[in-house]
Each structure stands twice: as C-alpha cells, then as structure tokens.
Amino acid sequence: MSNLSQQIVNKAWNFAHVLRDDGLSYMAYTEQISFLLFLKMADQQTRPPHNKPPIVPIELGWQSLLTKDGDELEVHYRHILDELGKKKGMLGEVFKKARPDIQNPTTLKRLIFDLIEPEDWMKMDADVKGDIYEGLLSRSAEESPKGAGQYFTPRVLIQAIVDVMKPFPEDTVCDPACGTGGFLLAAHSYISRHFGNALDPDQKKHLRSGFVQGWELVPATGRLAVMNMILHGINADPCPIHSGIDSLANNPSEKFSLVLTNPPFGKKSSISIVNEDGDLEKEDHTYEREGFWVTTKNKQLNFLQHVKTLMKINGRCAIVVPDNVLFEGGAGETIRTSLLKAFDVHTLLRLPTGIFYAQGVKANVLFFDAKPAQEAPWTRQLWVYDLRTNIHFTLKTNPLRREHLDEFVRRYFNLDQDEAESFRQPENPVRPTVQTRITREPTWSPENPDGRWRCFDYEELVKRDKVNLDIFWLRDKSLEDSDNLPEPDELAREIADDLQTAFEQFNSIAAELGE
C-alpha cells in the first residue's frame, strides 16, 4: 500500500473510532464511507478535465450536501440515500435499501468536510482507491473477526492465485461467492497491469462491462462489492454483482472461462425462516440441482459441485476448500471420484493455518480444468504443494506475505529464479497449459523427504481410502523436537483450531446419525 493510501486509511480509521463511540459498527462505517465517496467521485467526474454527464441528479449530488448544516444536513442525507436507491443500474444497486446510519449531524459534517471533500479522488488511480477501501475492510476484519471473517480472503493469497491462473483479456471471470469482490478485482487489475496499453477498444469495453461477474448472498456485502467495482473503474449495465441471491439455488444461465472463489466456510446449507413465535430460525436446506453428482446438505460440497457447472469447456478454476472437502466420506467421496474423472484436477495448495480471520480453518486451494466428456479419466496427476507443515503464521505478529507464496508460483510453472523474476513482468503474461505442467519437477524424493512439491498419479489417488485428497507426507518437527515448538500463542491457536475442527466434525456426525 502506498504512503498516500496508508495516510488516508489511517485518517479514515480515526473517524471510525469516533463513530464506534456513537454505536456504529466498523462494517457499517465502511458502508457509509462508500456512499459519501461515491457521491464525491460522481461530482468530480462532471468537472474538468473529465466533463462527463452527471450520473447523480444535481439536487441529490455531492454539492447539495456542502450547502447544508445541522439537522438539515442529516435529513437531506437521508433523502439522498432514499431517492438514489430507487434508481436503475449500478447506481440503484449501490444505494438499494441504504440506511443513513450516521445520525449525528456534527459527525456527518466532519466526514464530509474533513475526510472526503479535501481529497482529489479522481487524480488517484484505481489501485490507490482500491487500496484505501480494502485497507478499511482489512482493519475492520482485524477489529471484529466474527463480523468480517466471512468477507475477507487474504489479499496476498488472492494475488498469488491470480498470478498462477493468469487471466487474459478475452476471459470471463466468475466468483459465485464474491464477498466484497477481491478475486474479481484482482483479475481485473491483472489485465490492466499486463495488457493495458495493448487492449483494443472492444477489449477495453469488455474489461469495463463484461469481464467479471459475481454473486453474493448477503445484500450489505454485495453493496460493498458493487462500490469496490466502481472504485476500480468497472461500470456495467446490468450490474455485474448479483446481490442478495443464493447462487446455489438455480442452474447457471451462462458459463465462464475462469472461476475464482472462496466459498463460505460454514458447513451446513440453510435458509432463514420465521417460526410461529415470530423468531428467525435457520432450517437445513438441500439443493437438488441438475448437473450435481449428489444431493447433500453440505454447503462446501455443494459449492464445489456448483462451480463445475459454471465452467466452459476448457475453463479453469481455483477454489478455496476446507480440509473436510478433501477427506469426507459419503457424498464427499462421490464428488471427489467424479471430479477426478470428469475434470483435470491438477494442483492442490495446502494453505498454512493462521491466515484467515475465521478461527478453526484449515484450508486448501484446488485447481482444475473443465474438459469434454470422455470415457477415460481426465486427471492424470495431482501436484501437491505443502505450505502448512512446520510453517506458522499469525494475523498480526507474523502475517502471510506475497513472497511466502513465491516458491509455489515458481513450481507451478517450473521456473528457475531468473525465469520467475522475468515471468512476473507485465510484458510477459503466459497462459498456463497442460504442456507447462508436463515440465514440472518435484522437490520431494526419497533422498529429499523434506521437499514440499510432490506428484501423485491418478491410480494412487483413487486407491486411497475414500479417495482422500487430504495428502501430507512431511514430518511434523514440533512432534520430534521441543526446540522447534512454535511460540505459546501460536501453539494455543493451533490447538484451538484443531479442537474447533474436531467439534464441527462431531456435530456433523451427530446430525447425520439423528436424521
């Protein structure tokens, strides 16, 4: 993050603490900043050198806020949100059902005049504005893990995944659980960075209005995704973010060449209902979908099945999945068996613990390609990179950084150090291919048992009990040498994570026995 971005994030965060004292949550504050920032930028676009037609009616625009004070300002702000929420297109999506949570006129005036008004936001490039916005989300997640953990995938992990997937201008990118849009924006930024000057007018139009598409079940989170899109220069009609829609509920109406996603970690699929006493309850829900291999209540398994229905032939996917998706029996075994046969499941990245805000999460990234139907299995080899064993991260004292994933990216393409450096340059984008994977070389061998990069043939995989893909081979050194134990706080977190995972598994078994 640039110094300018960091300064404004810090400034905005200081305001957040003031609003916290007024009873406003950090996520609600970020949403209110989104509304005000949008109005300011829309106003700036109408002025030189941009001189664009106003997208917000003048009487509801930024300048109208600057002429008000006291209770009149708070009432007018409420009126703006209400009226803009009735508009069509992305404008209406940004303000749909928007609530004026800042009800203190003095605080509202300070946000307008001290935080938003002094900055020339249109002179900042999209990455700077995105940095500021994502910085607020990150700080919000740190302060309130339960509220933000569901929204936030580590940005460095997203960047590494996009780097190995290497989107191209003609791609169509989908995230069926997009949260605030991290994967979609990273793919969009990748194209801008690597192809920006070489894009023809049709490609620029596609990048602006047809390149990304996402679904988000939680409306407030979907609103943040739409705002994030606008801040990064995406302007499409209809809106590319389908907010408040359960993407699992229906067969997709279109397919995509690239799917990048980190679905919710919650295990059970459920719907919210109102009981006889008027209380809100969650009821287990099973999706019966054409194209699904099995019917199950497991949300994570359903997302894996859903993702494969979104892919074009030769489409590519990277999906974050928790460990249980790799080892669970019953429906899980059926899905893994079918996936290995019908798709080319070629790479698995075992993620370290301590990188997500949600506790108790042990996760992986599964990479696979869609293929036309054939009798023989499409998966030939599964390459596994173990970034978990004997590696310890924490969110604050030892966070995951992009360089921690450099070795995986390099092994993915079988590059030496000099090639890897050249490979990351904007002028050298290369699409991953089967030929690229053929040249891979493992770092593990009987002579080098500590190698983290290992290959498993299809025949080995299907012979494993329940087609278990939760594969590890490295010795846990902390079990052999007390000198290698992690710090006490890290050890306590790992124990808590293991207990949480075990508790969820016992609950799942108990629920199944009770059905």
Whole-model pTM above 0.75?
Answer: yes
Q: Could you give all domains of the chain from N- to C-terminal order, each with its CATH number?
A: 3-134 (1.20.1260.30), 149-497 (3.40.50.150)
**What's the CA gap between 51 and 12, in Å, rounded?**
28
pLDDT tens for the 515 residues of the chain, in order: 566 666 776 777 777 777 777 777 777 777 888 889 889 988 988 888 888 888 899 999 999 999 999 999 999 999 999 999 998 888 888 898 899 988 889 989 989 998 889 887 777 655 555 566 666 666 666 665 555 455 578 889 999 999 999 999 999 999 999 988 999 999 999 999 999 889 999 999 999 999 999 999 988 788 888 888 887 778 888 899 998 889 998 899 999 999 999 998 765 555 544 445 444 345 556 777 888 999 998 999 999 999 999 999 999 999 999 999 999 999 999 999 999 999 999 999 999 988 887 666 899 999 999 999 999 999 999 999 999 999 988 877 888 999 999 999 999 998 877 666 666 666 666 566 666 677 899 999 999 999 999 999 999 999 999 999 999 999 988 666 655 566 676 667 666 666 665 565 556 555 555 55
In the 3-class helix/strand/coil scheme, how is 316-360 assigned residue by residue? EEEEEEEHHHHHCCCHHHHHHHHHHHHEEEEEEEECCCCCCCCCC
Q: Which of 125, 54, 55 is nearest to 92 (CA)?
A: 55
**What's the CA gap between 214 and 486, in Å, rounded?**
39
Phi, psi dihedrals of residue 456, rounded to the nearest 5°: -130, 130
Report the amino acid identity of residue 436: T
**Other Cβ atoms closer than 10 A to 107:** 18
> Which token pair is 303?
């997302």
278: alpha, beta or left? (left if phi > 0; alpha if psi -120 to 50) = left
Q: Which of 467, 294, 257, 254 is nearest to 370 (CA)?
A: 257
